Amino acid sequence: INAEYGRTAAMPPMRPTQERMDSFLDRFGDYVSINTSQDDTHLTTEAGAVAGHRTSQYSTMTWDQLSSEGQASLTDLKEHGSTILKNFLSPEMLAELSSEVDRVLAPCPLGRNDFGGTRTRRAYAALAKTRVLDSILTDPRLLELVESLFAPNPLLSVIQILEILPGEKPQKLHYDQQFQNHHPPREVSVFNMIIAVDDFTPENGATTILPDSHLWPQERAPNHSDPRACLEMPAGSVAPFVGTLWHGGGGNTTDKPRRAVLIVFQQPWYRPLENSFLAVPFKTAIELHPKIQSMLGYSLHHPFVGAVDLSLIHI
């Protein structure tokens, strides 16, 4: 943020809170121009698997910057559209998450339609309700995957806590980029992560996926002959998958709920599904880790997308 983006000598005197905000905004850096050529449009396996090559079309990361685990996960994402990071959370972190999930979900009502789930409870804008997810969002193992797919300063589109109760029916198959007007429509611009708070099993509502469906042409829809797989994993695991992969929540035929956290990232130039500027109070946002602030939209996309005239801000 500088004079080009709206800071002038005519700004009113800053109060202490404004000084904090000024310092907060000054952390935003400029970034190199992102190559927008249309190679690697469908996140094919060809690009990125060589040292020095960028990991995806818009990312500034190169293949050799990834950890060996990151390289394996990104290969799975490119080839099959999903991967599973088993036992990602420590037992202590899982116990803390489980307790907070119960607290946050307690006042939440059931869903109102079949797609959201009439036997499913969801807590939206989770960053406004708990701090237990902060360390997960800033975990280098997850950040390297997000940053290997997207341009600098990717945004959080959704972060919610959910619980599929006994008796819930399977969700209609879909892919998440259907809900936003992405161009090209099959270019990966949304990236999902499901954190299993309970064991995910075929019986309790584990997400159903159609492997390799992220490579389908836009006009193709699933049919009964397409192979399906279940994101079966122990509690504390994370299942990342790309936004072009066909999937749906499973039905819960057990007598116990199945809890999870859904985190959705997207390219920095698309409008998120959740409006975090309204959902997460500024007094909360200003105390968050800088990486999370950037994810909420307190960041710039090259050259000045997201700029603000500070003379208009009064706190």
CA 163 vs CA 108, 136, 229: distances in Å:
10, 19, 21
**pLDDT tens, 133-144?**
999 999 999 999
Would you say 189 and 213 are in contact if contact means Cβ atoms under 8 Å apart? no
Long-range contact set of residues 140-144: C-beta below 8 Å, sequence gap at least 24: 141/67, 141/69, 141/70, 141/85, 141/88, 142/193, 142/238, 142/240, 143/291, 144/61, 144/65, 144/66, 144/67, 144/70
Q: What is the pLDDT of residue 28?
A: 47
Mark residue 135 as left, alpha or beta (left: phi above 0; alpha: psi -120 to 50; beta: remaining). alpha
pLDDT over 70 percentage in the chain: 79
| Alpha-carbon span 171 to 168, nearest angstrom | 9
Task: List the Cα angle 295/300/305 in 5-degree steps.
Answer: 120
Omega before 303 within 30 of 0, i.e. cis: yes
What's the burial of 148, exposed, middle or buried (CB within 10 Å: 0-12/13-18/19+)?
A: buried
**pLDDT tens, 189-223?**
999 999 999 999 999 999 999 999 999 998 899 99
List, as one string, the DSSP characters of 202-246: TTBTPPEE-TTGGGS-TT----TTS--EE--B-TT-EEEEETTS-
* pTM score, whole prediction: 0.80
Q: What is the CA radius of gyration of the chain?
A: 20
**pLDDT tens, 84-100?**
999 999 999 999 999 99
Identify which of 145, 149, 132, 101 has the alpha carbon closest to the alpha carbon of residue 258.
101
Identify which of 157, 141, 241 has the alpha carbon closest to the alpha carbon of residue 191.
241
Residue 224 has pLDDT above 70, yes or no: yes
Mutual orientation of helices 140-149 and 68-80 as an angle, nearest 10°? 50
Residue 267 CB partners (closer than 8 Å, separation 6+) = 58, 150, 151, 154, 155, 189
Q: What is the pLDDT of residue 233?
A: 98
Half-sphere exposure of 53 (CA within 13 A, CB side): 13
Residue 4 has pLDDT above 70, yes or no: no
Handedness of CA 154, 155, 156, 158 (dihedral sign): negative
Return the structure tokens found at 146. Answer: 């997000």
CA 150 vs CA 111, 265, 310: distances in Å:
32, 9, 28
Q: Determine the average pLDDT of the residues in 42-52.
A: 50
For residue 96, the Cα-to-chain-centroid distance in whole angstroms is 21
Q: What is the pLDDT of residue 307?
A: 74
In terms of average pLDDT, the best of 15-29, 114-128, 183-197 is 114-128
Residue with tokens 């500088």: 2
Q: Which residues of 74-97 are buried (b: 16+ CB within 10 A; e: fewer)?
A: beebbbbbbbbbeebbeeeebeeb
Q: Determine the average pLDDT of the residues in 60-82.
A: 96
Q: Using 50, 70 and 90 to split pLDDT, how confident is the model at 20? A: low
